[in-house]
């Protein structure tokens, strides 16, 4: 028997958000509010940077102290703007990684500054070809610097990096990075969207992941892993699924991840298109109410 959940970390794309959508369902939004009202800390855990996350949750009525784990764990803050935790990537390492990953696809680095220059890349036309929707949504934050290494100055460390391309090329990029001299100084986390033949390879300081950030957040809140639930749909959620005492994998997750879930004893939720997060939270809240009764 698991103890009652006190902390739930929930991925955004493909989990809170339906496939190919930037809008959360009303039912899912209500379930988040209900969980908070029941005394559960709801943490949003996403690969998105903070500025790309806030517009999607700003109107949900969540509390200002709602934790947001962003940039795949590199930055944790509250919805109200308080910084909780952060870990930047060394500019020296970022420069080295550029040379390794440039042949495989678009390389982007994220900085902690608002407006243009928050995102830096060197080939906008290449990015438009593979991640056009992302480019359009972030156009006002993008600065083009060629070669990209010129934007990576010692003392001005990026929050994280990202390489994007086809599934096959990003798998090859991940292998190349792990075989390079930078492997010990750069964590890589792959996210795949096979239906669009799109993969993103997130680049982070060593050890940083959603799971790392969730563990640190739980310690700050005085919550142990058995009282923690994690819900996700992709490989960048693996760390938090493994750390949490209760892991939930979405029905729309990759087949390999769903297979791993069976081996690890994680439960499976309905897909994000069927309000899977709401189904899980509603069931949890009913169980808590019954236990109190």
Average pLDDT over residues 81-98: 95
Percent above pLDDT 90 for the chain = 80
128 pLDDT above the threshold of 80: no
129 pLDDT above the threshold of 80: no
pLDDT number for residue 291: 84
Per-residue pLDDT tens digits for 50-64: 888 999 998 899 999
- Mean pLDDT across the chain, nearest whole number? 93
109 pLDDT above the threshold of 80: yes
179 pLDDT above the threshold of 70: yes
pLDDT number for residue 2: 76
CATH architecture of the domain with residue range 93-204: 2-Layer Sandwich (3.30)
pLDDT number for residue 148: 96
17 pLDDT above the threshold of 90: yes
Per-residue pLDDT tens digits for 209-250: 999 999 999 999 999 999 999 999 999 999 999 999 999 999
pLDDT number for residue 1: 63
pLDDT number for residue 127: 79
**Domain layout of the chain by residue ranges:** 7-86+208-292, 93-204
Strand extents, DSSP E, the chain:
7-10, 41-45, 67-70, 75-78, 83-86, 106-110, 119-121, 142-144, 160-165, 187-193, 198-204, 228-232, 246-250, 267-269
CATH of 7-86+208-292, one of 3.40.50.1000, 3.30.420.40, 3.50.4.10, 3.40.50.620: 3.40.50.1000
Q: Which two tokens stand for residue 232?
A: 């996700």
Cα-based distances in Å from 241 to 194, 246, 281: 21, 7, 16
Kindly report the pTM of this predicted structure. Answer: 0.89
More confident residue, 158 or 290: 158
pLDDT number for residue 259: 94
């Amino acid at each position: 028997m698991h103890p009652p959940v006190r902390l739930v970390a929930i991925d955004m794309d493909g989990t809170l958000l339906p496939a190919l959508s930037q809008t959360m369902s009303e039912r899912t939004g209500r379930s988040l509010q209900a969980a908070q009202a029941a005394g559960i800390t709801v943490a949003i855990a996403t690969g998105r940077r903070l500025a790309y996350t806030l517009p999607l949750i700003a109107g949900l009525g969540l509390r200002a102290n709602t934790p947001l784990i962003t940039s795949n764990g590199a930055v944790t803050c509250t919805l109200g703007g308080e910084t909780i935790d952060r870990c930047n990537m060394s500019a020296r390492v970022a420069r080295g990684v550029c040379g390794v990953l440039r042949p495989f696809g678009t390389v982007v680095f994220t900085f902690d500054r608002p407006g243009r220059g928050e995102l830096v890349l060197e080939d906008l036309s290449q990015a438009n070809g593979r991640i056009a929707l992302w480019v359009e949504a972030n156009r006002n934050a993008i600065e083009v610097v060629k070669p990209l290494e010129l934007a990576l100055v010692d003392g001005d460390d990026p929050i994280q990096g990202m390489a994007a391309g086809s599934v096959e090329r990003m798998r090859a990029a991940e292998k190349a990075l792990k075989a390079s001299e930078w492997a010990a100084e750069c964590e890589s986390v792959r996210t795949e969207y096979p239906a669009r033949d799109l993969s993103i390879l997130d680049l982070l300081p060593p050890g940083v992941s959603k799971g790392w950030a969730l563990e640190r957040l739980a310690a700050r809140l005085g919550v142990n892993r058995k009282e923690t639930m994690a819900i996700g749909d992709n490989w960048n959620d693996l760390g938090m699924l493994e750390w949490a005492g209760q892991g939930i994998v979405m029905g729309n997750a990759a087949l390999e991840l769903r297979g791993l879930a069976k081996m690890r004893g994680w439960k499976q939720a309905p897909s994000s298109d069927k309000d899977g997060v709401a189904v899980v939270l509603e069931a949890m809240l009913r169980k808590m109410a019954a236990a109190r009764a």
